[in-house]
């Protein structure tokens, strides 16, 4: 697969064209941002760890019937993915209270939620990724009713599968954010799934194994990602 021109550069990844019109290369950087890029830094080898973790998770989800953009891992920082049109909506599920649910609504961190909270945010840095509901998504023409229904169904399916996946590694899935894309008329899972986009607490100890180490200056950031990679790849 030949790597061609840069198509897009985001905060944590770069997309490159390939010689295949339907496939692109997703390159993972070490750059880290938090609180809508108000906080910036780098985490040594984060790109390598997130590429490895995302690849394993996409393989697992794909094997369990979730449509994803993942094709294969190409190198330590690159994966080959289907070229999608990203739906500019960040979809979040929360199983326990953490992060903005505590900051914005006063929930007690760690509270087990009586049912998962399904949240939608507008993926738009200029507007600070505001929380939105399904009416906003539809009337602002970000997605159709049918697409939203697919996204919701897949998101709850991903929650069940990922809870099980991580629990087997002695990790609890506290919350996560995913993104979807359109590919040949269908909605499929895109972007990445990694400690940048999930909150992962070790069962029993509550040790944080995710980007909250960076967001909240908890220290040993790289080690947290490394621990997740080690468990996910059984090394």
Q: Burial level of 108, CB count in 10 A (0-12/13-18/19+)?
A: exposed
176 binds ligand TMP (CB under 6 A): yes
Helix (H) or strand (E) holding 143: none
Nearer residue to ligand TMP within complex by CB, 18 or 58: 58
Nearer residue to ligand TMP within complex by CB, 74 or 174: 174
Residue number with the smallest Cβ distance to ligand TMP:
99
Nearer residue to ligand TMP within complex by CB, 18 or 56: 56
Shortest Å, Cβ 183 to ligand TMP: 21
Nearer residue to ligand TMP within complex by CB, 128 or 220: 128
Per DSSP (E only), the strands in 35-170 are 39-42, 70-73, 78-82, 85-86, 89-96, 112-122, 131-132
Shortest Å, Cβ 199 to ligand TMP: 4
197 binds ligand TMP (CB under 6 A): yes
Stretch 49-108 residues interacting with ligand TMP (CB under 6 A)? 92, 98-101
Shortest Å, Cβ 196 to ligand TMP: 6
Rounded to whole angstroms, the Cα distance separating 188 from 181 reads 5
Helix (H) or strand (E) holding 180: strand 171-183
Rounded to whole angstroms, the Cα distance separating 100 from 82 reads 31
Rounded to whole angstroms, the Cα distance separating 23 from 194 reads 21
Site size for ligand TMP, by CB under 6 A?
13
199 binds ligand TMP (CB under 6 A): yes
224 binds ligand TMP (CB under 6 A): no
Name the residue among 157, 153, 119, 115 with its Cα closest to residue 136.
119
Nearer residue to ligand TMP within complex by CB, 18 or 50: 50
Determine the Cα angle at 75 with ends 74 and 80, to 5°. Answer: 30
Which residue from 69, 77, 82, 177 is in contact with ligand TMP, where contact means CB under 6 A? Answer: 177
Rounded to whole angstroms, the Cα distance separating 61 from 219 reads 31
Residues of this chain that bind ligand TMP (CB under 6 A) = 92, 98-101, 129, 175-177, 196-199
């Amino acid at each position: 697969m030949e790597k061609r021109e840069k198509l897009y550069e985001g905060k944590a990844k770069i997309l490159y064209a390939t010689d295949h019109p339907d496939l692109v290369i997703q390159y993972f950087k070490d750059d880290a941002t938090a609180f809508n890029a108000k906080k910036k830094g780098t985490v040594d080898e984060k790109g390598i760890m997130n590429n490895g973790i995302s690849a394993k998770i996409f393989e697992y989800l794909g094997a369990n019937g979730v449509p994803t953009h993942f094709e294969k891992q190409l190198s330590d920082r690159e994966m080959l993915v289907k070229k999608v049109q990203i739906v500019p909506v960040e979809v979040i599920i929360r199983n326990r209270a953490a992060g903005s649910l505590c900051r914005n609504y006063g929930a007690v961190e760690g509270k087990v939620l009586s049912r998962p909270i399904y949240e939608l945010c507008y993926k738009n840095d200029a507007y600070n990724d505001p929380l939105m509901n399904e009416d906003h998504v539809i009337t602002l023409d970000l997605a159709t009713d049918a697409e939203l229904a697919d996204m919701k169904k897949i998101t709850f399916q991903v929650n069940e599968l990922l809870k099980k996946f991580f629990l087997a590694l002695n990790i609890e899935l506290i919350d996560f954010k995913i993104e979807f894309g359109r590919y040949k008329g269908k909605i499929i899972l895109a972007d990445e799934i990694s400690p940048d986009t999930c909150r992962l607490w070790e069962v029993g100890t509550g040790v944080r194994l995710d980007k909250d180490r960076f967001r909240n200056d908890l220290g040993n950031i790289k080690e947290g990602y490394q621990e997740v990679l080690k468990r996910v790849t059984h090394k």
